Amino acid sequence: MAKTLPVVYQTLRNHSHITEYALVQDPTNKPFLEVLSGRRQAVPPIWMMRQAGRYLPEYRELRAKAGGFLDLCFTPEFAAEVTLQPVRRFAFDAAIIFSDILVIPYALGRTVRFEAGEGPRLDPLDTPDKIAALSSEADMTKLEPVFEALRRVKRELDSKTALIGFCGAPWTVATYMIAGQGTPDQAPARMMAYRHPDAFAKVIDAIVDNSIRYLLGQLQAGADALQIFDTWAGVLPPREFEQWSIEPTKRIVAGVRRQVPDAKIIGFPRGAGALLPSYIEATGVDAVSIDWAAEPSLIRDKVQNRVAVQGNLDPLALIAGGAALDRAVDDVLTNFAAGRLIFNLGHGIQPETPIPHVEQMIRRVRGNGLRQ
Ligand code: CP3
């Protein structure tokens, strides 16, 4: 578990103008955790959202062996192996445990299936009556394989590489639970929230309470930091963003920190745009992951002055490669590398991404003769 910093450093960390200390760093510290703890790194640590996945031949091979996607997530040996694949190949600064945000609805007793080429399918919670029958307590034994996978990965990682646990933010998880599948604009969940706010709040509350338990279990199993994915935050009007994205995330952060006060937490309210400063202020996250459309000066002046920033290469630039990729990498570094930055994509890597392009991106970020 993350160690507590001496009080003097805590004070420095909380001071909005200080982004870097002139301290000699312990050579065993993990660069990723250093940035989350307020200490900018000269070379930004790097990992990619969805880094374990279909663009890797070794993933596709194991996926075929495991059968279903959930079988892959819930077989610790396989989940640990898939988590480690991108770290071995690219020496990323962080591993993210291989699982999915929809394991929470699954543990709440909902039916969750992943159809090949179609994405997730759940039994829709599309009426207040169905919501009234929703269990408020997840069966945590169903999630035990995720904890076991974390313990296995932890044993394999070297001392420089951090391990990330995660969950979906309540709003984003609820959009799948209500609609039963992904939708272009999350209309079913938005409509449920307008028409039946009390029923909708019950779904959100169940996700909040069980996500806290799930994240605490992940910390206990060896996660060094946590990320909360709010992929669909950007479809909400400001009032609803406050109510359904910020408030539930704030409760998760507070619930986790009640047990683990120095838990490091990254929020990813994708598409939050100008609402990001209020998100960080209210939730108390240590960092935000930003999407590629984020406006750089807003991020620098109102976000990166307070917390670390993770992002934000357009995944399509990574598919394109060549000069367009170099330019896109340089833009991220120019925009954000003067402050606390964890280099990442603005959203998950796509399956058609060529592996040499990932290598090109990493070389450019780490400056192996290509930068300056
Ligand atoms: O980042 C990682 O490598 C860790 C694993 C991870 C997965 N899903 C594996 C996965 C993480 C962090 C997630 C998060 C997730 N899952 C999100 C939030 C982040 C984001 O990308 O927006 C969401 C919205 C989901 C729900 C989900 N899972 C969808 C919509 C889909 C289908 C779309 C798709 O990409 O195929 C999944 C399936 C899924 N989750 C796959 C993987 C590797 C593909 C499944 C396969 O191999 O067939």
Could you read off the pLDDT of 14-66 as tens digits, one per residue? 444 444 444 455 666 999 999 999 999 999 999 999 999 999 999 999 999 99
**Long-range Cβ contacts of 124-132 (<8 Å, 24+ apart):** 124/177, 124/178, 124/179, 124/180, 124/181, 124/188, 125/177, 125/178, 125/180, 125/203, 126/178, 126/179, 126/180, 126/188, 126/192, 128/196, 128/199, 131/196, 131/199, 131/200, 131/202, 131/203, 132/199, 132/202
Average pLDDT over residues 136-148: 98
What domains lie within the chain, and their CATH numbers?
Answer: 8-368 (3.20.20.210)
**Centroid of ligand 1 to alpha carbon of 53 (angstroms):** 8
**Long-range Cβ contacts of 173-177 (<8 Å, 24+ apart):** 173/101, 173/102, 173/104, 173/105, 173/207, 173/211, 174/200, 174/203, 174/204, 174/207, 174/244, 175/232, 176/101, 176/102, 176/105, 176/120, 176/122, 177/105, 177/110, 177/122, 177/124, 177/125, 177/203, 177/207
Residue 91 φ/ψ, nearest 5 degrees: 50, 45
Identify each DSSP E strand in the chain by its residue range: 94-96, 112-115, 119-122, 162-168, 225-230, 265-269, 287-289, 308-313, 341-345
In this structure, the chain runs to a length of: 372
Could you read off the pLDDT of 63-91 as tens digits, one per residue? 999 989 999 999 999 999 999 999 999 99
The secondary structure of 76-121, three-state, reads HHHHHHHHHHHHHHHCCCEEECCCCCCHHHHHCCCCEEEECCCEEE
Residues with CB under 6 A from ligand 1: 49-54, 63, 69, 96, 98, 100-102, 114, 119-120, 166, 168, 172, 182, 229, 231, 348
- CA of 325: how far to CAs of 145, 320, 359, in Å? 38, 7, 11
Instruction: State which amino acid sits at residue 13.
Output: R
Confidence of residue 362 (pLDDT cuts 50, 70, 90): very high
For residue 12, pLDDT beyond 70: no
Could you read off the pLDDT of 315-333 as tens digits, one per residue? 999 999 999 999 999 999 9
Percent of the chain with pLDDT over 70: 91
Q: What is the mean pLDDT of the chain?
A: 93
**Centroid of ligand 1 to alpha carbon of 69 (angstroms):** 10
Substitution site in 70, 100, 113 for ligand 1 pocket (most atoms within 8 Å of beta carbon): 100
Average pLDDT over residues 98-124: 95
Cβ partners under 8 Å of residue 117, min gap 6: none
- 224 close to 118: Cβ distance less than 8 angstroms: no
- CA of 304: how far to CAs of 11, 64, 276, 299, 372, in Å? 18, 42, 11, 6, 23
* Angle (nearest 5°) at CA 159 between 314 and 318: 15
Residue 73, strand partner residues = none
**Centroid of ligand 1 to alpha carbon of 239 (angstroms):** 28
Could you tell me which of 194, 216, 197, 215 has the C-alpha nearest to residue 205?
197
Residue of minimum CA distance from atom 30 in ligand 1: 119
The confidence score (pLDDT) of residue 368 equals 65
- 178 close to 203: Cβ distance less than 8 angstroms: yes
Position of tokens 């400001």? 238
Cβ partners under 8 Å of residue 198, min gap 6: none
For residue 297, pLDDT beyond 60: yes
Can you tell me the distance from the alpha carbon of 201 to that of 158, in angstroms, rounded to the nearest whole number?
42
Could you read off the pLDDT of 226-260 as tens digits, one per residue? 999 999 999 999 999 999 999 999 999 999 999 99
Residues identified as active-site: 50, 54, 63, 100, 176
**Centroid of ligand 1 to alpha carbon of 98 (angstroms):** 9
Q: Which atom of ligand 1 is nearest to the CA of 51?
A: 3
Could you tell me which of 47, 42, 122, 45 has the C-alpha nearest to residue 89?
47
SS3 268: strand
